[in-house]
Structures are given as structure tokens and as C-alpha cells.
Amino acid sequence: MRLFTAVDLSREAARHMEELQKGCRTVLPCQRWQKIENMHLTLHFLGEVEESEIPSLQSILREVTRQSPAFFLEFNDWGAFPNETRPRVIWIGVKEQPALLELQRTLAPALQSYGYAEADKPYVPHITMGRNPKGNDIAALRQQVPVQAVRWKANALVLYQSVFGAGGVRYRAVERFPLTT
């Protein structure tokens, strides 16, 4: 199973992402768009995990999240990977949140045996909007499609499975691990 961990958006946050995507369609069209129902903030991409390993992975996630506080996230601004000169992924970033970074950092070593590979670049929390933009004018996006500081509570870490089907990729929640409140 192809797995990753992520935090969901609130309904209000997803609604704003939808508005931002409409604006992005006019200012900086992408070849591939993230479906609204698929939007999430990834913490760890694990890749293929054997089904037999999933129960132990779940118990690690349960153990750590039980001791980790819930936190608030807030949209920040547009961003791009690998950089804004030659963007391949267009995303919306969130304001720095130490509890999110702490959760990501705490889990990272424990998830390495399940395929998580620590990137050589720092972790940049983001919500993917679209891929392969036909242009690179991120400055125009910032100016013409302003991001509102929508704030929402991240109550849980979710283990997601990427499922490939006729309608494209779909993310199925394998389990939600509540954070402490």
C-alpha cells in the first residue's frame, strides 16, 4: 500500500483553497490540479508499505499522537517547488507552527523503517494546489489572488493510502490518530 501521513483541512480552509484554485486557473494555469477532496498537509511520505507491517506502523502513530498536542494551522501565502523560477508544484504554505514541526520531527526516525526517507532539504509544510504550471509568475498570483489567513485546528494525524483508479488518484484514510486536546 502506498502510504503517507497528513493533516486534514477544515471545511472553511478547503473552501478557501477552492477559491484560490479558481484564481490560480486564471492567473497561472496548471497541467494537473489537486482535487479539493484530496487536499491535505503531508507530514511524511512513506511509499509502498507491506500490508503485514501496517499494524505496527499504526501502533507507533497511536503511541506518538497520544502524547502530542493538537494545534492550530493558518494559511500563509503561495509558494512553489523546487523554486519560484522553475516551479513544478504550486502550493499554499502555512504559518510556522512549532507543534506541527515537533510532531513531524518526533515521528520521522520511527517511520524510517516503513519507507520514510528524510529529505536533504528542510521540511516545508504546504498544501499542494497544482502541478506543472504553464508559466512561473508566482508574484502575479500573490498580487491577484490574495491568501486569507484562515485558521483551523488540527485535531488528528491521518494515515492515508493513495489509491489509483479510473478517476485518478484518491486518498483513503486508513486511520485517524487524535492529538491530545
Closest distance to ligand 3AM from the beta carbon of 135 (Å): 20
The CB-of-104 to ligand 3AM minimum distance in angstroms stands at: 13
Query: Mask of contacts with ligand 3AM, 98-137, x by CB under 6 A?
Result: ------------------------------x---------
Question: What's the min distance (Å) between Cβ of 78 and ligand 3AM?
Answer: 14
| DSSP-derived secondary structure for 103-166 | HHHHHHHHHGGGT----SSPP--EEEEEEEESS--HHHHHHHSPPP--EEEE-EEEEEEEEEET
126 flagged as catalytic: yes
Question: Cα–Cα distance between 46 and 130 in angstroms, integer?
Answer: 21
Cβ nearer to ligand 3AM, comparing 42 with 97: 42
3-state secondary structure of 22: helix
Query: Which residue in 10, 42, 76, 161 binds ligand 3AM (CB under 6 A)?
Result: 42
CB 178 → ligand 3AM: shortest distance, Å?
21
CA distance 48 to 103: 22
Site size for ligand 3AM (CB under 6 A): 5
Active-site position among 90, 126, 128, 145: 126
Q: Which helix (H) or strand (E) holds 33?
A: strand 30-33
Which is nearer to ligand 3AM, 5 or 181 (by Cβ)? 5
Q: Which of 76, 101, 162, 175 binds ligand 3AM (CB under 6 A)?
A: 162
DSSP 3-state of 85: coil
Whether 158 contacts 38, CB under 8 Å: no
Q: Are 3 and 47 in contact (CB under 8 A)?
A: yes
The site for ligand 3AM (CB under 6 A) is made up of: 4, 42, 45, 128, 162
Which residues are designated catalytic? Answer: 40, 126
